[in-house]
Amino acid sequence: MKAALAAILLIVGILGIIAGVLYLTEVAHALPSFFPGHTATGTGKLEKHGYAAIAGGAVLFIIGIVVLASGQRRSRMVSR
């Protein structure tokens, strides 16, 4: 159960970081249409969205690593 939760958190964290990089490198009209802030005529970059997505993705990624590590530590303790 913990391994599945950790995998989901890691994947969502990586996707968040990727989305943040897209926000910082693409202009608003070049973003995928399902991204918040996408406009047909937007010429600016959405830096606040990018920084928030990278920060959120990093937090989720770190939480996933912690959950994964805590599950491994307990399984080693039980096997002794």
Residue pLDDT, tens place only, 4-47: 999 999 999 999 999 999 999 988 888 888 888 888 777 788 89
Total tally of structural domains belonging to the chain: 1
Q: Which domain holds residue 71?
A: 2-79
- Tell me if 35 sits within 8 A of 22, measured CB to CB: yes
Query: What is the structure's pLDDT at 72?
Result: 74
Rounded to an integer, what distance in angstroms lies between the CA atom of residue 28 and that of residue 39? 6
